[in-house]
């Protein structure tokens, strides 16, 4: 109903009041309403938790010689983990369907697409002869390590940073992509980077290295943790937070979804993404590293990067060099 139509009954009531007053009705007019309209703030996403960074700072990350050094591929095609996957006939991959550009559900076809999805397909292609012989398990960032420890997935391909702390619990491939933590905000917010987040509300996904870095380096920010980066975009759009901070690769995907946002500030860190695998699955680690060696050398990596990431992150990227511990 238009605003004009809503006014019609009120105008009719005033006419009726004047008419009855002219007929000798001397009762006083009703007192004006003092009701104040209420505006309800949109609800936070399910699982959102607000916390002050200074309440419990994370411990310093343990040191190790080179967390990106992995097991050298040796041409092996057999072993307990590889044989189990072949017997099953499919590779079980953990990822997040809410990571635009990396792993997202195509609205037209309903299929999972993105850079990480295609990396997983290359593993299935070399191991099972079929890039689509994959069963996807949906994981939040905080669930990645547990899924590998419980072996409910074979691999996690989900923008997962390699670091010393995680390597105590899971194994990693060599790095397949380099990222840098930055800040996403709305145009005209006045936020230009980490220093401007003091006293601001910042959304970060729990279970990520991004969360620990913000808590350590900007303890004056108020943190809202949510299950997924898509949730962070929603609360930023609703102005329930002032900024989002994580890797520029993830932020680029969010900025594509909302052109009113922008990635700002200098790099806060360098993040090396690796494929996560269960601790002790050495045959699988060596095989996956062999797949990564192939896609670096035969042009597959460059093709996938150009298809999914070059428009947002630039054309000059090259695959990170492999580092081995043996």
- Read off the CATH number of the domain in which 203 is found: 3.40.190.10
Is the model's pLDDT at 58 over the cut of 60?
no
pLDDT of residue 228: 87
pLDDT tens figures, 23-39 = 444 555 555 544 544 44
Q: Is residue 201 part of a domain?
A: yes
**55: pLDDT strictly greater than 70:** no
Average pLDDT over residues 216-235: 92
For residue 65, what pLDDT is reported? Answer: 84
β-bridge pairing 170-172 and 112-113: unpaired
* Segments forming the whole domain that contains residue 115: 62-310
* 204 part of a folded domain: yes
Looking at residue 71, what is its pLDDT? 97
CA proximity to 267, closest of 254, 242, 255, 249: 249
Q: How many domains does the chain have?
A: 1
- pLDDT category of residue 9 using cuts at 50, 70 and 90: very low
What pLDDT is stored for residue 21 in this prediction? Answer: 42
Q: pLDDT-derived band of residue 11, with 50, 70 and 90 as boundaries?
A: very low
Would you say residue 9 lies in a domain?
no
Average pLDDT over every residue of 188-206:
95
53, pLDDT greater than 60 = no
Residue 6: pLDDT band with limits 50, 70, 90: very low
- For residue 150, pLDDT over 70 is answered with yes
Confidence (pLDDT) at 67:
93
For residue 46, the model assigns a pLDDT of: 67
Taking the whole predicted model, whether its pTM rises above 0.95 is answered as no
Per-residue pLDDT reduced to its tens digit, 260-288: 999 999 999 999 999 999 999 999 999 99
In this predicted structure, the answer to whether residue 85 has a pLDDT above a threshold of 80 is: yes
Specify if 230 maps to a domain.
Answer: yes
Report if residue 135 sits inside a domain.
Answer: yes
Residue 77 lies in a domain: yes
Beta carbons of 285 and 277 less than 8 angstroms apart? yes
Q: Does residue 75 lie in a domain region?
A: yes
| 285 part of a folded domain | yes
What number of residues does the chain have?
Answer: 326
Strands (DSSP E) contained in the chain are 49-52, 91-95, 98-99, 103-105, 112-113, 134-138, 155-156, 170-172, 177-186, 201-205, 222-226, 243-247, 261-273, 276-278
């Amino acid at each position: 109903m238009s605003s004009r139509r809503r006014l019609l009954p009120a105008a009719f009531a005033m006419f009726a009041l004047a008419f009855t007053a002219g007929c000798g009705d001397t009762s006083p007019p009703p007192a004006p309403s003092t009701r104040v309209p209420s505006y309800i703030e949109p609800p936070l996403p399910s699982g959102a938790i607000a916390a002050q960074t200074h309440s419990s700072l994370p411990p310093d990350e343990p040191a190790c010689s080179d967390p990106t050094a992995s097991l050298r591929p040796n041409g092996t095609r057999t072993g307990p983990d590889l044989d189990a996957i072949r017997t099953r006939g499919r590779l079980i991959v953990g990822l997040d369907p809410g990571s635009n550009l990396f792993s997202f559900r195509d609205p037209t076809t309903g299929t999972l697409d993105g850079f990480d999805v295609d990396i997983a397909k290359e593993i299935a292609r070399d191991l099972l002869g079929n890039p689509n012989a994959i069963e996807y398990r949906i994981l939040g960032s905080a669930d990645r390590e547990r899924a590998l420890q419980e072996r409910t997935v074979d691999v996690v391909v989900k923008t997962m940073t390699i670091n010393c702390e995680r390597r105590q619990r899971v194994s990693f491939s060599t790095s397949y992509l380099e990222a840098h933590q930055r800040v996403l905000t709305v145009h005209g917010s006045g936020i230009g980077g980490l220093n401007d987040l003091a006293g601001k509300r910042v959304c970060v996904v729990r279970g990520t290295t991004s969360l620990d870095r913000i808590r350590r380096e900007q303890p004056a920010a108020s943190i809202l943790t949510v299950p997924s980066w898509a949730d962070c975009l929603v609360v930023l759009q609703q102005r329930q937070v002032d900024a989002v901070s994580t890797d520029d690769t993830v932020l680029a995907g969010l900025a594509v979804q909302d052109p009113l946002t922008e990635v700002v500030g200098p790099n806060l860190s360098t993040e090396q993404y690796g494929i996560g695998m269960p601790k002790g699955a050495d045959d699988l680690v060596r095989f996956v590293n062999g797949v990564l060696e192939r896609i670096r050398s035969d042009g597959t990596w460059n093709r996938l990067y150009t298809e999914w990431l070059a428009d947002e992150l630039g054309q000059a990227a090259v695959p990170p060099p492999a580092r081995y511990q043996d």
